[in-house]
Structure 1
Amino acid sequence: MQLRKTLLVGLVSVALLSGCSLFGGEEDVVTMSPLPKVENQFTPNKVWSTSVGNGIGEYYSHLRPAYQDNTVYAADRYGVVKALDLTDGKEKWKVDLSEKKSFFASNQSALLSGGLTVSGSNVYIGSERAVVFALNTQDGNVAWQTKVAGEAISRPVVADGMVLIHTTNGQLQALNEADGAIKWTVNLDTPTLSLRGESAPAVAFGAAVVGGDNGRVSAVLMQQGQLIWQQRVSQPSGATEIDRLNDIDTTPVIVDNVVYALGYNGNLTALDLRSGQIIWKRDMGSVNDFIVDAGRIYVVDQTDRIVASNAEGGAKVWEQNDLLHRNLTPPVLYNGYLVVGDSQGYLHWVNTTDGRFVAQQQVDSSGFLSAPIVAGDKLLIQARGGKVYAFTR
């Protein structure tokens, strides 16, 4: 039986925040760091905010907006998808993907979960009901929908005429971008116990590179659906079941023929794209997507440390420890700063040179889980309650 992340996050929260040990006999209390005092060097300007349905509530879901051609696409878990004008947040269209059971019964939630991806004339989104939708960007009409091998909770990735989906039962599937037909399926294997989350693939030179729940990174030829290589970067170890989880739920990053990968209890690892051979690795774990930019790697780790490392060998440049256990979002680079949200609804702006705070603001009491995104000159983030915010520097 798989321990998927919705359950695990709840269990870990109980274990860490209330002091109850679930897998051992000891009590181990971990306390959320108090909000650090920051003297703002500037005040980010909120341009607009608008509600998109009911958000994700208390569920573990990385639904987040997508952006293309001055339009923002956002969704809630229930099934509402909206297109918003990037300039002012006004609604362009709205659709509801929840299933209508009967005239008298309430609609059944679509359980949208896989994040939004926009490419060409379609916006793509997956669901916990193992359905992937393609919606027309002009009016939101369903261009196609396809039943896939399992829950589609990772972000769809579009490349080479295909939509790639990594399902919770360890299947990497390629759907035809035009009609949603399944072209191939690769079984990446899943262990008995794993986190609820799947790595979205990274694509380069006709190959899809993806992390697995078995602690391996796999490279697959996209046109044939053929496995090229696999490399283990996370090895199960430790005294408890949680200690031995070795999922790679983060999306690999490919820069200059080097694959950077990061496991939950594993390592930050650099691999050769062609062979999969390990170039270097450093002890660090996370489920948060990370950034590789200008020779630096920026990671929010398991304990919510923000760490900057050198991309050449993984040596640590700086770390910011004042937000420990505040359940940070993955980071984003915006206007020269690193920005993260936290579970109490604050945005934290960090200097990329030395890791010091440069600004902080409380935005939404429902808190943040999904990563901020950059859309044109704006920073966008969606709160748990469903509200989307747009900021400028």
Structure 2
Amino acid sequence: MAPTGGPTPSQRTALEATALANASWGLPVMNVTWFDSSFCIHRPCALVNDIGERHPRYPVWWHFFVWNASADSWDSAPYGPSDTVLMDGAAIAWYLAIDDPVTFAAPRPAPRPDLRDVQVSFRGDLTNAGSAHGSIPVTNHVRWDVDIGVKEIDTTPIAAYGNLYVATRSALVALDASTGRQVWRNTDVHDLLSTPALYDGHLVLGGTDGRLHYVDAYNGTETWRILLEPGARSSGIASSPAVYMGRAYVGTFNESAGGMGRVAAVNLNNGTLAWSYETASVHLSQPAIARGALYVGIMGAYDGTVGYSAPYGILSLSLDGVLNWFYPTNGPVASSPVVAANRIFVPSQDGFLYALNTDGRLAWTLQIGAATSSAAWAGDRLFVATGALGSSGKILAFDAEGNRAWEADAGGGMEASLVSDGKLVCGSINVANGAIVCVHAIDGSPAWTYTPAPPNFILGSPSVIGNSMYAPSDNGHVYAFGPASPADSTGLWVAGTIIVTVAATAAAVLVWRRRRSGLA
């Protein structure tokens, strides 16, 4: 696959490298406009309008970055892609984003040339697919086990910049993803049931006090906070935010009997409220965003004790906070909707799995048992877990039309959400001697199980980055499973010379290397 003739690899332009990578991913041909300008070094020069048919509309556009090794950061490219010639070891990134409306500064992508695998939200991407950002380890080998000194970790670890971020009831903690060593701890940001999302070097997450926090991911310093749910005490924001084009979208929980919660959009550049839509309370569900619409599970109106009343179901809003539709269910929805195969898949505590068309019409529904866990989508299959505290639980697999592929006993109620790489499916059972459980995606047969010590319940969900899986336990420990040394898993050799990574943040990272012995 080596290129023949023409310039050597170290003489190719960023536009040529991007075109090669684009073809290797099997994406549609890039949308490029050629124009003549005095700013061009070589006339005409190119403007990349679109990659992968994302159809951006201004002020959303594809940003072009070059890696600054001395500053250890991405810089906005000083020249266009057709005028940027790549030398040995150069790295470029394309990032679909929106500039700060005041300063016009561009947000930086999270993947780096040396740390390409990232997980930037609870469910991993805007569709809430729960897909592994790498490969799930095939054994339960523990690479490290760290007691972070906090019981009841209810959230999912996310990873970027070489760190693992864990939100707990007493602090927000950053660990070195390779060793588990603590990098920083912010005890001023606490009482956290919300998994962070990552944006432009910051963590975005909600607190049970009803506030949304914006924290520097490098040093743990809080930049701003905004109160979204006044009067909250224990469950104000348990929804994990979805971040899209400079805004965080999150649901809130009203703890007063019969009170209404809201879905809110917050501007991340300054921590101001963009809009708020009143609805019944949102609890745990992370909004999904696809094709200009938001989808979120509605828990219902809290009765002041332990129950909920209608309305509960699936809510769809425009990204400007206008109602698209509401589909009522027969019980609370705590899970995060999965958008795949032109459907919205949502398990509910009423015991049914719902598949909706994107216009809110019911496609099909199946009785599977009560579910709080968010489903995962991988390899054209939907994986769903059932069960509650003190009950039995199952893992089930379906195709997009609701045909059941298999059903497996989970060994206990599985309230943690699932993750899958298409080969394995993993989650955690919430029993007194809770365990992390993995089964084979093809047939549901057991792959491996790990029971943490000391034994305790497990509500937090595992995440997969590179060749490692990270999982919390209510015993206060975080576990890293995988080989002795973590490694990026998303690099591909293309034409023998380019390592390519596509990240969940819509950023593409290319590292251009010339092999000393020639092309292969």
Shorter-chain TM-score tier: 0.5 to 0.7
**Greater C-alpha radius of gyration:** 2
> What RMSD in Å do the two structures reach over aligned CA positions?
2.4
**1:334 aligns to 2:378 (yes or no):** yes
- Counterpart contact for 1:219–1:227, Cα < 8 Å: yes
- Which residue of the partner structure matches residue 15 of structure 2? none
* Partner Cα separation in structure 2 for residue 66 and residue 132 of structure 1: 24
**1:291 aligns to 2:338 (yes or no):** yes
* Partner Cα separation in structure 2 for residue 361 and residue 139 of structure 1: 34
- Which residue of the partner structure matches residue 327 of structure 2? 282
* Partner Cα separation in structure 1 for residue 151 and residue 435 of structure 2: 19
Question: Displacement, 1:186?
Answer: 0.8
- Counterpart contact for 1:250–1:287, Cα < 8 Å: yes
Normalized against structure 2, the TM-score is what? 0.52
* Partner Cα separation in structure 1 for residue 230 and residue 295 of structure 2: 21
* Partner Cα separation in structure 2 for residue 69 and residue 282 of structure 1: 34
AA paired with 1:143? V
* Partner Cα separation in structure 1 for residue 234 and residue 278 of structure 2: 16
1:222 to 265, 268, 285: 268
* Partner Cα separation in structure 1 for residue 158 and residue 369 of structure 2: 30
* Partner Cα separation in structure 2 for residue 307 and residue 114 of structure 1: 25
- Counterpart contact for 1:320–1:356, Cα < 8 Å: no
* Partner Cα separation in structure 1 for residue 364 and residue 164 of structure 2: 38
Structure 1 residues 171 and 137, CA gap change in structure 2 (3 angstroms): same
Structure 1, unmatched stretches of 5+, are 1-64, 73-85, 99-108, 235-245
- Which residue of the partner structure matches residue 133 of structure 1? 173
Question: Displacement, 1:199?
Answer: 0.6
Question: Displacement, 1:118?
Answer: 1.8
1:261 to 284, 290, 296: 296
AA paired with 2:394? Y
- Counterpart contact for 2:131–2:376, Cα < 8 Å: no
- Which residue of the partner structure matches residue 214 of structure 2? 174
Map 1:113-128 onto structure 2 (within 5 A): 113-128=154-169
* Partner Cα separation in structure 2 for residue 68 and residue 135 of structure 1: 18
- Which residue of the partner structure matches residue 246 of structure 2? 206
- Counterpart contact for 2:237–2:252, Cα < 8 Å: no
**1:371 aligns to 2:417 (yes or no):** yes
- Counterpart contact for 1:216–1:248, Cα < 8 Å: no
Structure 2, unmatched stretches of 5+, are 1-129, 255-260, 301-311, 443-520
Map 1:357-368 onto structure 2 (within 5 A): 357-364=404-411, 366-368=412-414
Structure 1 residues 120 and 304, CA gap change in structure 2 (3 angstroms): farther
Deviations 1:74-100 (A, max 9, x none): xxxxxxxxxxxx1333121221112xx
AA paired with 1:189? E
Helix, strand or coil: the match of 1:115?
Answer: coil
- Counterpart contact for 1:253–1:259, Cα < 8 Å: yes
Normalized against structure 1, the TM-score is what? 0.67
* Partner Cα separation in structure 2 for residue 147 and residue 231 of structure 1: 31
* Partner Cα separation in structure 1 for residue 314 and residue 343 of structure 2: 13
**1:301 aligns to 2:348 (yes or no):** yes
AA paired with 1:170? G
Q: Greater CA deviation, 199-208 or 249-258?
A: 249-258
1:345 to 358, 381, 393: 393
- Counterpart contact for 2:172–2:189, Cα < 8 Å: no
1:389 to 426, 437, 447: 437
Question: Displacement, 1:247?
Answer: 3.4
AA paired with 2:326? K
What number of residue pairs does the alignment pair up? 287
Identical aligned residues as a percent: 21
Question: Displacement, 1:351?
Answer: 3.0
